[in-house]
Amino acid sequence: MEKLAIFGGTPVRESKIFYGRQCIEQDDIDAVAETLRGDLITCGPKVEALEKKLCEVTGAKYAVVVANGTAALHLAAMTAGFGEGDEVIVSSITFAASANCILYCGAKPVFADIDPRTYNIDPESVRKLITPKTKGIVAVDFTGQSVEHDALHKICEENGLLLIEDAAHAIGTKYNGRPVGSIADMTCFSFHPVKTVTGGEGGAITTDNEEFYRRLMRLRTHGITRVQSEMAHPTDALWYNEQVELGFNYRMTDFQAALLLSQLNKLPRFSARRKEIVAKYDSVFSKMPEIIVQQEIPQSDTTRHLYILRLNPERLACDRRQFFDALYAENVCPQVHYLPVYWHSYYEKLGYQRGICPNAEDYYNWSMSIPLYYSMTDAEVEDTVRAVKKVVEYYRK
């Protein structure tokens, strides 16, 4: 057996690789530079072009581009009308922002458990949590895999709920052939550098609902409008615009939008490479009883953002921490996505108890994300596989 790097052996790789990174090419840089030489550098023609492009990519009627994914979730939650006294059901295994947006509006996040096979929100768990106070659902396409839209749609229809889809991981994914972004009442995207396409920072909301669209556009810029039909004191005076509600400055710059436009043109290529790496990992790890492979629902054609390595505690004589540290020392650096949101001390102080979502907690205790990004070379994919095998062999029961 090979000596693990953590115990003084030679690491599988000399340099570290991490779970995700952006891919910026020369034409991306050129697009940003060209925009910086223009007249408008914030929220100008590139933002408008990006909104049009997002409608093409997702099949949605409207897209509103904002500063980041968290801003997208905040505006979507406000536009959904979540407020004091309302409950909103949300995935428990997600980035905190998915639940924070509910708190921003004064409503109460109610955490649903995950399906232990797919790690996505379990529609049966959602059903059990519905009360007369429930207003909506924030469902996360975790790792990029689409949520179970048919089941969630049925629950929403039967109970008069709004569905916000947090698709921060899922640009490029389809559900029954329909692109994510055209299915839920509102869909939120993030363009942070670890996500499949990036603007440095960036976010967007897509919707088919014109009323939602108008409100999202207003809230992005302070709640100020130039549309006469939205004004209390309409006039066609050229200088006049009116604040009709309390909004924010959640604008994206035009040079970020230029970067994103350039990146979105590469989405088919980015998506294909991610699928190729996932297929390689799946083919190796599905043959190893020490590793549990994430299951896909047949409806989801997934552009995977994260690859989850879940340990089988019955076959390994180590805990997650030991495995994680050993892999890290091999210079194949994993990360953990995510702590169940209600385990964060902030949520603990709000009164959430441990134990409410057992599948989520069990998932968390044994999982980590291994490198998956477009620009990974075949050698880096091989190194990752070798490092995982090396650590598995050492700790095999």
Size of the site for ligand PLP (CB under 6 A): 14
Query: Is the CB of 261 or the CB of 306 nearer to ligand PLP?
Result: 306
Query: Is the CB of 168 or the CB of 391 nearer to ligand PLP?
Result: 168
Query: Is the CB of 69 or the CB of 172 nearer to ligand PLP?
Result: 69
Q: Per the structure block, which two tokens stand in for 289?
A: 């009883």
Burial of 72 (0-12, 13-18, 19+ CB in 10 A): buried
Query: Is the CB of 13 or the CB of 195 nearer to ligand PLP?
Result: 195
Pick from 145, 227, 146, 144: nearest CA to 190: 144
- Report the site for ligand PLP in 222-251 (rule: CB under 6 A): none
Q: Per the structure block, which two tokens stand in for 108?
A: 């109460």
370 counts as binding ligand PLP under rule CB under 6 A: no
* DSSP letter string, 321-383: HHHHHHHHHTTB--B-----GGGSHHHHHTTPPTTS-HHHHHHHHHEEEE---TT--HHHHHH
Spatial contact of 83 and 106, defined as CB atoms under 8 Å apart: yes
Element spanning 73, H or E = helix 69-79
The residues pairing with 248 across neighbouring beta strands, listed in sequence order, are none
94 counts as binding ligand PLP under rule CB under 6 A: yes
Query: Is the CB of 53 or the CB of 169 nearer to ligand PLP?
Result: 169
E-strand stretches of the chain: 62-66, 87-91, 108-112, 134-140, 162-166, 174-175, 178-179, 186-190, 203-207, 224-225, 242-243, 291-292, 300-301, 307-311, 367-370
Query: Is the CB of 46 or the CB of 192 nearer to ligand PLP?
Result: 192
- Report the site for ligand PLP in 12-71 (rule: CB under 6 A): 68-70
199 counts as binding ligand PLP under rule CB under 6 A: no
Neighbours of 42 (CB within 10 A): 14
Spatial contact of 258 and 53, defined as CB atoms under 8 Å apart: no
**Side chain identity at residue 24, one-letter code:** I
**Binding track, positions 328-357, relative to ligand PLP; x by CB under 6 A:** ------------------------------
**Binding track, positions 204-223, relative to ligand PLP; x by CB under 6 A:** --------------------
Q: Which of 110, 164, 168, 277 binds ligand PLP (CB under 6 A)?
A: 168
Q: From the CB of 38, what's the least distance to ligand PLP, in Å?
A: 25
Pick from 16, 5, 119: nearest CA to 384: 16
DSSP annotation of 191: -
Q: From the CB of 49, what's the least distance to ligand PLP, in Å?
A: 20
Q: From the CB of 127, what's the least distance to ligand PLP, in Å?
A: 22
The residues pairing with 206 across neighbouring beta strands, listed in sequence order, are 63, 187
How far is the C-alpha of 246 from the C-alpha of 256, rounded, in Å? 25
Q: Which of 32, 77, 89, 97 binds ligand PLP (CB under 6 A)?
A: 97
Query: Is the CB of 141 or the CB of 185 nearer to ligand PLP?
Result: 141
Q: From the CB of 64, what's the least distance to ligand PLP, in Å?
A: 14
Query: Is the CB of 197 or the CB of 309 nearer to ligand PLP?
Result: 197
Q: From the CB of 101, what's the least distance to ligand PLP, in Å?
A: 9
Q: From the CB of 9, what's the least distance to ligand PLP, in Å?
A: 34
Query: Is the CB of 54 or the CB of 391 nearer to ligand PLP?
Result: 54
304 counts as binding ligand PLP under rule CB under 6 A: no
- Report the site for ligand PLP in 127-166 (rule: CB under 6 A): 140, 166
Q: Which of 13, 149, 169, 304 binds ligand PLP (CB under 6 A)?
A: 169
Q: From the CB of 70, what's the least distance to ligand PLP, in Å?
A: 3
E-strand stretches of 87-198: 87-91, 108-112, 134-140, 162-166, 174-175, 178-179, 186-190
Footprint of ligand PLP on this chain (CB under 6 A)? 68-70, 94-95, 97-98, 140, 166, 168-169, 190, 192, 203
